[in-house]
Structure 1
Amino acid sequence: MTDTSDAHLTETLIRSEPLCEGDFLKARRDTVRMPDGGVSTREYIVHPGAVVVIPLLDERHVLVERQFRYPVGRVMTEFPAGKLDPGEDPWTCARRELREETGYTAREWAHAGDMHLAIAYSTEIIHVFFARGLAAGERHLDADEFLDVRILSDEALLDAARAGAATDAKTLTCLLWLQNVRGGHWELDWHPNPDPDRHVAG
């Protein structure tokens, strides 16, 4: 949400320099002018963007994944997710990631909203999708991808979050969406799968 009255808070770019050019992530250091006229630097990660999918199996259960995440050194419980390929539409990415990682396709999809994962040091934006009318199929994991697919009740996932067993930020945020959608407080704009040949009705 942008407000023209926020001008007294806005920083403006003076110059930008690369710090790291990785295959996946890039790091930059920008010199910025502060609202009071002073100068400072901002170091941040440039991320290509990603999607996360909340797959609704029925009125009480969802699909989740268990995957080892190297930076934190532990197996995490999370909703299916993945990064955008260059120029890829988030809708396309969401359908692809669900199919490749879980083997499931969905009869209907809804874009719930977007979230910024780490606003202090990353450009990453994650597009949040719901999927329903699921049908199981074959997974197509990347060669370096190892994960388990699990079925959990909404209550079990909420309990895991409350107990500190599920700590993935995007999944915790998606739980807020899930609770409000299940409770009828937030409405979704559902659309049929545009690739019906990729869905086998269950």
Structure 2
Amino acid sequence: MDHLKEKTLHSEKLFSGRIIDLYLEDVELPNGKTSKREIIKHPGAVAVIAVTEENKIIMVRQYRKAMERNLVEIPAGKLEKGEEPIVTAKRELQEETGYTCDELEPLISFYTSPGFADELVHVFIAKGLRKDTEEHQLDEDEFVDLLEVSLEEALELIDKKEIYDAKTAYAVQYLQMQTLFRK
């Protein structure tokens, strides 16, 4: 597979932000020609599939500026520098929803947009879910509505394009497959 590798000839950081860095890279292609690649470096993220004893999926509705609209998503957030994904997952679940859990089981990790970004999302399943008695604290620039929806309601939210991101669509489809296989 090395015959497909692109060799980096030069890399220039064009932008350094609070969350991402943007690089412009000159690369040598497998055929010896050169090209340019715009690469976004991201610290990585987590997402949590959390289902109550009443079979309600815990979600949040949040305004997403890049889309200029509200989206319904599973709890998620970016990794802090040096933080293990499971630690981030516990923190984000509690901060965004006010729920805690006995256990977080790793399910899958995937790249969100490998054509131009290195963001890796780690998806966990929360087990032993319970509402925390302490007040949860969102980040100062974060505003969300907490939702508890059935699988059927989640599928309707996908049809209405209120759930419109890959991690949440994956979560809903995963839960749907689990339901089908239990029958």
TM bin, normalised by shorter chain, reads: over 0.9
Q: Where do 5+ consecutive residues of structure 2 fail to align?
A: none
Work out the CA distance in 2 between the residues paired with 1:18 and 1:170: 28
TM-score, normalising length: structure 2: 0.92
Once the two structures are superposed, residues 82-124 of structure 1 have per-residue CA deviations (whole angstroms, 9 ceiling, x without a partner) of: 0000000000000010011111001222100101111111110
1:18 and 2:13 matched = yes
SS in 2 for 1:165: coil
CA contact (8 A) 1:56 1:133 kept: no
The equivalent residue for 2:178 is 181
Shift in Å, 1:63: 0.2
The partner residue of 1:74 within 69, 82, 103 is 69
**Aligned residues: percent identity?**
38
The partner residue of 1:100 within 74, 95, 99 is 95
The equivalent residue for 1:144 is 141
The partner residue of 1:113 within 108, 112, 126 is 108
Shift in Å, 1:177: 2.3
Work out the CA distance in 1 between the residues paired with 2:52 and 2:72: 17
SS in 1 for 2:80: coil
1:58 and 2:53 matched = yes
Amino acid at match of 2:167: K
The equivalent residue for 2:164 is 167
The equivalent residue for 1:40 is 35
Amino acid at match of 1:68: Y
TM-score, normalising length: structure 1: 0.84
Work out the CA distance in 2 between the residues paired with 1:143 and 1:22: 18
CA contact (8 A) 2:25 2:36 kept: yes
Runs of 4+ in 1 over 4 A off after TM superposition: none
Work out the CA distance in 1 between the residues paired with 2:95 and 2:170: 23
Count of residue pairs brought into register by the alignment: 180
SS in 1 for 2:129: strand
Work out the CA distance in 2 between the residues paired with 1:180 and 1:90: 25
Shift in Å, 1:58: 2.7
Shift in Å, 1:179: 2.3
Shift in Å, 1:60: 2.8
RMSD (CA atoms): 1.5
Work out the CA distance in 1 between the residues paired with 2:16 and 2:162: 34
Work out the CA distance in 2 between the residues paired with 1:149 and 1:67: 9
Once the two structures are superposed, residues 38-78 of structure 1 have per-residue CA deviations (whole angstroms, 9 ceiling, x without a partner) of: 11110021101000001011363210000011111111100
Amino acid at match of 2:13: P
Amino acid at match of 1:57: T
Work out the CA distance in 1 between the residues paired with 2:15 and 2:167: 25
Amino acid at match of 2:63: F
Work out the CA distance in 2 between the residues paired with 1:42 and 1:112: 31
Work out the CA distance in 2 between the residues paired with 1:88 and 1:25: 16
Amino acid at match of 1:174: A
> 1:110–1:159: structure 2 CA closer, same or farther, 3 Å change rule?
same
